[in-house]
Chains A and B, each alone.
Chain A
Amino acid sequence: MTRRAAPLVRAAWALAAAFAVTLGILLAAGAPPFATLAVMAEGGLGSQAAALRTLAAFTPLLLCGAALCVTFAANLWNIGVEGQITMGAIFAQGCLRAADPAGGLPAGLDLALGLAASALGGLVWALLAGMLRTHGRVHEIFSGLGLNFVAMGVSLWLILGPWKRPGMASMSGTETLDQALWLPALGGRPMSMVGPILAVAAFVGAAWLLRRTFFGLTLAAVRQNALAATRLGLRPGLRILAAMGICGALAGLAGGILVAGLYHRLIPSISGNYGYTAILAVLLASGSLLALPAACLFFAVLTVGSVQLPLSLSLDSSLAGVLQGVLVLTLFAARRLRPLSRRREP
């Protein structure tokens, strides 16, 4: 088995096990197992409209997945991605609502500024968690989780308070942005190709950074032995902050794309659990950069396809959430229970 093929074999075995468990659960839930899976696949990929929706969910997942790869590379348990998406969305909305589509800057520049602002928002939020780690000795799990809640609180406060729409404040979100400030859409659907392109570019950039640059190497050094990295003069604290910053910027950009490309306004819970789902996707890909897009796509199909469960089969759509969780757990369990296991931990 070559080193490159090993993850694939592992994934195939794990997927087979997960598939079997999934069928079992569907049977137990009284759902026709194959029809259920088919309906979900059809709902996620079966038509152009469905594929576009899946792409819309895939975009933030891939961005956040790439972001997480950077922090995982430095051995950081960054679960603050949700908050970083939210902060990115807030910054983008703040920038775009201040833009004047009629005059001043051309709309393209407004949009670019909005997206840049979103990256900045995520970066600032991630650096907060990073500095709490490097300077305050607060573990990033706690600061990340805490800052997630704070970001959500801030977005709710803005929507119901200072940025409320004229008339009655609504949980529907802030006033919709002027159409000139939407990311250019495709075929009249509320879907822009700019997002997926940026996401793929960001993913390739992150992969290049981790695999092909000195910076990536230093992150690996920090991950494997922070003390040795210090001795080598690699300044782990700085590397940690850099990794957090890059991660935050990418997650923030995801938030910006959600505002400018999908919802066209700031809404409550705009981060949509993408930050947590992306963690699952990265775990599912078990750190393999190659497998990450596939894992993200898989979760995107599951999310979008599950909409069809109540519509087509009158099944409780929570089933998709159960499947998602069980799949990830099974995949982990399967990796441990794998036959022909010559385990070599990374």
Chain B
Amino acid sequence: MRRAPTTLAALALCLALAAPALAADKPLTFGMLLVGPYNDKGYSQAQYEGGKYVEEHVPGAKMLYLDKLNPADRPGVTVPQVVDDLAAKGATLIFAGSDDMKDGIREAAEQHPELTFVHISGDDVLTGKAPKNLGNVFSKMEYAKMMAGFSAAMTTQTGKIGFLGPLINDETRRLADAAYLGARYAWEKVRGQKPEALSFKVTWIGFWFNIPGVTSDPNQVAGSFFDQGYDVVISGIDTPEALTVAAARRKAGADVHALPYDFKQACDSAPEACLGVPYFNWGPALLPIVKDVVAGTWKPSFVWLSPDFAALNDPDKSPVGFLPGQGLSAESKKALDQFTADLGSGKVDLFAGPLTYQDGTVFVPAGRTATDKELWFCPQLLKGMEGASASK
């Protein structure tokens, strides 16, 4: 009885050891820690595909991934433990995908000074907490959110735009603010409408996705937006309820639209209701980091990547994209292209002052534009938006 598990364990060990031993000439093995399922058609899948992209473009590179790394799905499993495993399997570079992993990845970096760590969405370098082997990278989704807001404001008939927000923190406030700035620009500068005729309301559900009993139900929130005359809903959450509800309302005869988030193919489930999707494209964001690590030239820094405005939806170029949906009219799409070009050339800078927070304090004074640090730490929604700036 005792022997059987030992034999099986030995067999497993052989299998595990054989795999890396075959690939002998020391190519890079990197670890990828995903917070959600690798096939979630959302935030985590975008990162998984970024890792696959790196595998394709760096000869010999091999990705080891672990998905659903969160305490609900993997109780008792911590980030440092998984990093120990990855290191034992030969990984020398570790990507951690989510804000949840902030402390875990720092702890792991301190325990493994010989490895390189990159925390996606983190800010330890910015706050000075990062050890020497930990860097940060994120993409400026703000610009894609501006395009989402722009598309929404170009389309709305009622002048009322809803923003389906997740939980409230600096990142989510920042993205809601960006969507508002894009919408306001389209409304006032392109459509020539009166500022007071635009209503932009943010409703937070309380988490990145629906947890029955804990969060507000995003189906209900999206539905109530449409009930109150909001005819476009921009989603800030990781799941597609806004688009699903919009599609159902369209079937019932309402002329409403929505914009999902995170994943390039997100419009596919209801193309005619979809105005477009802001999405992450991690391949071109991660590739330079991996190349630097291979060349030994990597330095820890806080990297916050802007989109490639001239090649927004080129999978090899822009770390952030905005893919217009079928619901966007040809005319609006033309205006969107112009808007994108103007953002790229710097002709339009929506983060230029004067900008004011909801309570009247100055965000950016007139005459200059916001710094990265001012943008990153975002305490409030902007003046002109409706909705809570903090959880009560």
Contacts and interface: CB of A to CB of B under 8 A. Distances in A.
Interface in B277-336: none
Contacts of A35: 11-12, 15
Contacts of B67: 310, 317
Contact of B64 (A190, A311, A316): A311
Interface string B52-65: 00000000000011
Interface string B207-226: 10001111000000000000
Interface stretch (A163-171, A209-217, A234-242): A163-171
Nearest to A175: B103
Contacts of A153: 206, 213-214
A161 to B, nearest CB: 5
Contacts of A167: 127, 377
A39 interface: yes
A146 B104 contact: no
Contacts of B391: 157, 160-161
A174 to B, nearest CB: 10
Contact of B71 (A42, A45, A46, A268): A268
Contacts of B78: 190, 262-263
Nearest to B8: A38
B77 A41 contact: no
Q: Which 8 A-B pairs have the closest CB atoms?
A: A272-B75, A149-B213, A38-B12, A57-B76, A38-B8, A172-B102, A269-B72, A171-B100
**Which residue of A169, A171, A268, A273 has the most chain B CB atoms within 10 A of its CB atom?**
A171
A47 to B, nearest CB: 9
B89 A160 contact: no
A224 interface: no
B182 interface: no
A172 B101 contact: yes
B66 A172 contact: no
A172 B106 CA distance: 11
B81 A49 contact: yes
A156 B377 contact: no
Contacts of B81: 49, 53, 190
A326 to B, nearest CB: 18
Given A42-B9, A311-B86, 8 more contacts: A41-B5, A149-B211, A149-B213, A157-B391, A160-B168, A168-B123, A268-B71, A316-B39
Nearest to B107: A190
A316 B36 CA distance: 12
A133 interface: no
Given A169-B169, A272-B75, A311-B89, A149 B13 contact: no
Interface of A: 34-35, 37-39, 41-42, 45-46, 49, 53, 56-57, 60, 145-146, 148-149, 152-153, 156-157, 160-161, 167-173, 176, 190, 262-263, 265, 267-270, 272-274, 277, 300, 303-304, 306-308, 310-312, 316-318
Contacts of B169: 160, 168-171
A269 B71 contact: yes
B240 interface: no
A185 B99 CA distance: 26
Contacts of B207: 156
Interface string B70-108: 111011111011101110010000000011111110010
B362 interface: no
Interface string B134-155: 0000000000000000000000
A161 B388 CA distance: 13
Interface residues of B, number: 57
Given A53-B76, A272-B71, A272-B76, A156 B214 contact: yes
Contacts of B86: 311
A211 B81 CA distance: 39
Contacts of B65: 310-311
Interface in B190-235: 206-207, 211-214
B71 A152 contact: no
Given A53-B76, A274-B75, A307 B168 contact: no
Nearest to A267: B71
A46 B16 CA distance: 12
A307 B64 CA distance: 12
A172 B127 contact: no
A267 B230 CA distance: 36
A48 to B, nearest CB: 11
B146 to A, nearest CB: 22
Contact of A41 (B9, B38, B98, B211): B9
B37 interface: yes
Nearest to A151: B214
A262 to B, nearest CB: 7
Interface string B12-55: 11011001000000000000000001110000000000000000
A46 B8 contact: no
A172 B72 contact: no
Nearest to B206: A156
B170 interface: yes
B96 to A, nearest CB: 10
Contacts of A270: 71
Contact of A272 (B72, B99, B171): B72
Given A42-B12, A169-B169, A149 B214 contact: yes
Given A153-B214, A273-B75, A172 B103 contact: yes
A149 B213 CA distance: 6
B37 A318 contact: yes
**Which residue of B85, B98, B102, B214 has the most chain A CB atoms within 10 A of its CB atom?**
B214
Interface in B115-139: 123, 127
B77 A307 contact: yes
Nearest to B85: A311
Contact of A312 (B16, B84, B104, B213): B16
A172 B100 contact: yes
Contacts of A267: 71, 100
B16 A39 contact: yes
A45 B6 CA distance: 10
A156 B101 CA distance: 16
Contacts of A56: 76
B85 A168 contact: no
Contact of B74 (A156, A161, A307, A316): A307
A34 B10 CA distance: 12
Contacts of B71: 263, 267-270, 272
B99 A171 contact: yes
A53 B81 CA distance: 8
